[in-house]
Structure 1
């Protein structure tokens, strides 16, 4: 099967994904999107008790399997406290800092099924009142949600159905520029999820793959255990498709596919990583090899849980991870090309 880059379809799927609220622990709607996608592509799947979805396309060899995973859960928050003023304190879901969401619009998802809009602000935001508006720590004590309802007390807020434990999601602000950049929250890891969904759809209608291949869309990666279970016993190679981290000292950029050699969990499988590099060279795919110092993936979570697999990690380069992120269509295309080359290559020995 020749590589055919479906840019328009991929970007459309990505935009739909990022606009579905899905902080870890509150992923029901986005998982319905995933299962509907597989249903329309007539790809069989199972749903784990944790809510993850594993779709399977049988290959020429049904004895030795490979698995690719991306996660569709995102960063978010939960209501920690309803303040006497009618504003909300937050408890963060996922590994990020309060400064990354200051000034962001948000949705509060009530247990009754309603959504109420608000904005995340520093309590001391008003410069005409607070001398420390620029220096106050952006912390759980100082940050709050200003609700878009008439409320002056905790009682007013509770009358709207909001309670401690309700989930809070952030406005993704998806934008595609004429120069090919894509700016949005939650490109980690919905960019990779869009690539996997489109890859599975193409693979289901193309030539028979060399190996039976599983597409695992997990829903708890941001809290550490998304893809660490329900791995078919026949699986020999496990690929996490997740963002490349960009910053000082990093090789990754927004225009190539980033192949991770090591992260905070330790080195990835040497042979499988070298196989990916060889495929990139052979297919003339622009790539970078990198080490991510403060990072873990579903592949490393699977190894930690005791899975007996060769594990590797690659994905598009994402700027400003866990904040207002950005990538480029060149990086998405390079990642799609490496995914295509990988699933159409024989399993390593």
Structure 2
């Protein structure tokens, strides 16, 4: 079994950096530029797409028609200003599946259209327990919670003078922490951990001087959380696409945070049986610790790729992530097992 420690160390460092670059859907330019530059530093042809994603050629015979597209996404959940309220606070609308229940009390950054950033906290309206007798019984929704700005504002006019307006992006603090025991904790591991894994794969290809048997591309998308990230930019030579996203961890599923998950079916239907079985065989051959699961509430980039009319075999894998769309947790072993599976399936088959 190959020792992948140096590549796992690298991908964890890259993931940590990317997690600290705000990129809710619709505000991804900075993160995409960073991703492009990191692939370019490794010596690969990486370009921004018109849609704002990053398409990377990792090598191989692009003139043949058996290429592989690996998809991950760097857009995350977040919020948008829906109303500047009379008291100067902000009512939000969600970007993607951001849930107010687990966003409550989180620090936020409001990005105005001029680029100015104002800080605040996402709180229940009337958030003081010593004042609000209905605190425990109030359902947390986007209407019962608000952003309290860290500015001396008391009216709508005060807030508007700061340049804040409807349509401004609201970024939630990721709170990244890497523990001594190898756990990776942060909001938005979905799917920045997988972007880190693909950077680790690229470094492995470069350092090990791998000659690819088929063309391999990576597409880092920026609209996955709203359903159309992978709907374009499929190279003509590609016959197969695999979404490298998070593996689900929860009751009724087999995967843990220390494994790579191979998805057989999600809410969009079954994945290509030859791809699923091929991934399982590659996991066994490489010694990757894996689980096969069915995700009850899940959609992926590769389903958007197929929905756009592309004729491809498709699959979905990812490091196990607990508390998805909340304060998420994975483990470096899960990331390493995902990298190990990718090496066996994409590079050695």
Q: Give the counterpart of 2:163 among 157, 161, 168.
A: 161
The TM-score, its normalising length taken from structure 1, stands at 0.96
Alignment match, 1:22: 23
Q: CA deviation at 1:61?
A: 6.7
Q: Distance in 1 between matches of 2:62 and 2:121?
A: 52
Equivalenced residues, count: 346
Contact 2:71–2:221 (8 Å) recurs in 1? yes
Residue 137 of structure 2 corresponds to residue 128 of structure 1: no
Q: Give the counterpart of 2:233 among 208, 211, 230.
A: 230
Contact 2:36–2:47 (8 Å) recurs in 1? no
Alignment match, 1:12: 13
Residue 309 of structure 2 corresponds to residue 318 of structure 1: no
* Structure 2 unmatched ranges of 5 or more: none
Contact 1:124–1:142 (8 Å) recurs in 2? no
Q: Distance in 2 between matches of 1:2 and 1:249?
A: 32
Q: CA deviation at 1:124?
A: 3.1
Alignment match, 1:247: 250
Describe how 1:104-119 pairs up with structure 2 within 5 A.
104-119=106-121
Q: Distance in 2 between matches of 1:256 and 1:41?
A: 27
* Structure 1 unmatched ranges of 5 or more: none
1:117-160 CA distance string (max 9 Å, x none): 11000003211111110110111211000100110011111111
Q: CA deviation at 1:39?
A: 2.1
Q: Distance in 2 between matches of 1:145 and 1:17?
A: 25
Alignment match, 1:173: 175
SS in 2 for 1:248: coil
The TM-score, its normalising length taken from structure 2, stands at 0.96
* Higher mean C-alpha deviation, range 91-100 or range 5-14: 5-14
Q: CA deviation at 1:3?
A: 6.0
Alignment match, 2:198: 196
- RMSD of aligned residue pairs (Cα, Å): 1.4
Q: Distance in 2 between matches of 1:212 and 1:273?
A: 20
Q: Distance in 2 between matches of 1:309 and 1:16?
A: 33
Q: Distance in 1 between matches of 2:47 and 2:183?
A: 34
Q: Distance in 1 between matches of 2:26 and 2:147?
A: 20
Contact 2:178–2:185 (8 Å) recurs in 1? yes
Alignment match, 1:267: 270
Q: CA deviation at 1:98?
A: 0.8
Contact 2:321–2:330 (8 Å) recurs in 1? yes
Q: CA deviation at 1:112?
A: 1.0
Q: CA deviation at 1:212?
A: 0.9
Contact 1:244–1:317 (8 Å) recurs in 2? yes
Q: CA deviation at 1:263?
A: 0.3
Alignment match, 2:346: 343
Q: CA deviation at 1:2?
A: 5.7
